[in-house]
Amino acid sequence: MNPEELAAVVQFHGHFCPGLAIGVRAAELARREIGPHAADEEVVAIVETDMCGVDAIQFMTGCTFGKGNLIHLDYGKNAFTFIRRSDGKALRLVMQPQFWGESSEEHRELTERIRSGEASPEDQARFQELFRQRGQAILDLPLEQLFEVQTVEPRIPAKARVRESIPCEACGEMVMETRIRLMGGRKLCIPCFEAGERRL
Residues that bind Zn ion (CB under 5 A): 17, 19-20, 52, 168, 170-171, 189, 192
Closest approach, Cβ 189 to Zn ion, in A, equals 3
Closest approach, Cβ 89 to Zn ion, in A, equals 29
Closest approach, Cβ 146 to Zn ion, in A, equals 17
Closer to Zn ion at the Cβ: 89 or 131? 131
- HSE, side-chain direction, 13 A CA sphere, residue 112: 7
Closer to Zn ion at the Cβ: 137 or 171? 171
Closest approach, Cβ 53 to Zn ion, in A, equals 8
**Cα→Cα distances 34→5, 40, 68, 151, Å:** 19, 14, 18, 11
Closest approach, Cβ 32 to Zn ion, in A, equals 23
Which residues have CB under 8 Å from 4's CB, separation 6+? none
Closer to Zn ion at the Cβ: 91 or 193? 193
**179 close to 120: Cβ distance less than 8 angstroms:** no
Distance CA 31, CA 43 (A): 10
Closer to Zn ion at the Cβ: 52 or 63? 52
Per-position b or e across 142-173, b if 16+ CB within 10 A of its CB:
eeeebbeeeeeebeeeeeeeeeeeeebebeee
Closer to Zn ion at the Cβ: 160 or 190? 190
Chain-centroid distance of CA 5 in Å reads 18
